[in-house]
Amino acid sequence: MKTSVLAVAVWGRTAPSHSITAVMITDDQKTIVTGSQEGQICLWDLSSDLQISSKEILFGHTASVTCLAKARE
């Protein structure tokens, strides 16, 4: 059984730098995943009317994220 958890992106007055180096869209076309030169991975919600809003930002990579791939279930 899958459960969903709402994510909150928290930062100050401005979002962290995110120079996009890789992009992926999920199979259901509801989430965009971006990798950055700064080593971050960001998840974005994509609505049916093509509005994009931030969902999560993941830190931890020590190098640029240049490739994204989907994991198998």
pLDDT tens-digit map of 26-66: 999 999 999 998 898 999 998 888 888 888 888 888 899 99
Buried b (16+ CB within 10 A) or exposed e, 41-64: bbbbebeeeeeeeebebeeeeeee
The C-alpha atoms of residue 71 and residue 61 are separated, in whole angstroms, by: 18
Q: What single letter denotes the amino acid at residue 50?
A: L
Domains of the chain: which residue ranges? 20-59
pLDDT, position 72:
77
Q: Would you say residue 2 has pLDDT above 90?
A: no
| pTM (whole model) above 0.75 | no
pLDDT, position 22:
93
